[in-house]
Each structure stands twice: as structure tokens, then as C-alpha cells.
Amino acid sequence: MERRGGTVKERRAADEELHNFCLKMLNALVQRERFPNSSLQLICRMDISLIRAADGTLNYFVNEVERGIAICLFGCVREDYVVDRVADELGPLLVSWITRRKLDIGLQSQS
């Protein structure tokens, strides 16, 4: 997101609050899965929204969660480097995960 307004301190606090909410939600989703190595721990996209409560405070909620290499990555940032950065950071992780999964499946089929 492109941040507009607020002091640096306010923006950092807001980023930390959103980050903590996302981690808490991710951990809760992983705990509910029935297998030990959740792909959510490797890559997922959460669509998070805000709703204003009756008392005026803002609350987060999750609209959608996607997992795996086919997730839709999009954003509001108008800089092309963001796509390159995502590819540079996620590419090696995805190759490693796919390779490990392939080896795990191969070992299981040999048993």
C-alpha cells in the first residue's frame, strides 16, 4: 500500500498492528490444518479489510486466503521494482519447497 498521512511513528505503529494481526491469523490457520507442513507457512496471500466498530475503533477481518505458487500478487504501489523484488525473494523459496516436496513424495512412494 502507498501510505499517505500520519507521522512516521503513527505509520510504524499501524504497520506493526497489521503485521501482528496477520501473523496471529496465519498461526491460527496453520494450527487448524490436519498435516504438519502447511504450505501456508511458505507462501500465502491474505486479503485483509477494515471495519469501523460502533465505538469508532477499526477492526481487521480476513476476506480471503490463498496459498501456493498460483496466488494473485497485486498491490497499489506504482513502482515496477516491486514485482522484481517479489520474484527475487519468492522464486528461490518456491524452488526449494517444490524440490523438498518432490523428495518427500518420492521417499513415501518407495516405502
The one-digit pLDDT tens for each residue of the chain (111 residues) are 556 677 888 888 988 999 999 999 999 999 998 777 788 888 888 989 988 889 988 899 999 999 877 777 665 556 666 667 777 777 788 888 888 877 776 666 665
Question: What is the extent of the structural domain holding 105?
Answer: 8-110
Q: Check if the beta carbon of residue 48 is closer than 8 Å to that of residue 63.
A: yes
Domain count, the chain: 1
Q: What is the DSSP string of 19-84?
A: HHHHHHHHHHHHHHSSSSS-GGGT-EEEEEEEEE-TTS-EEEEEEEEEESTT-----S---THHHH
Cell numbers standing for residue 89? 525473494
Taking the C-alpha atoms of residue 85 and residue 102, their distance in angstroms, rounded to an integer, is 26
Question: Would 1 be classed as within a structural domain?
Answer: no
pTM of the model: 0.61
Question: Would 2 be classed as within a structural domain?
Answer: no
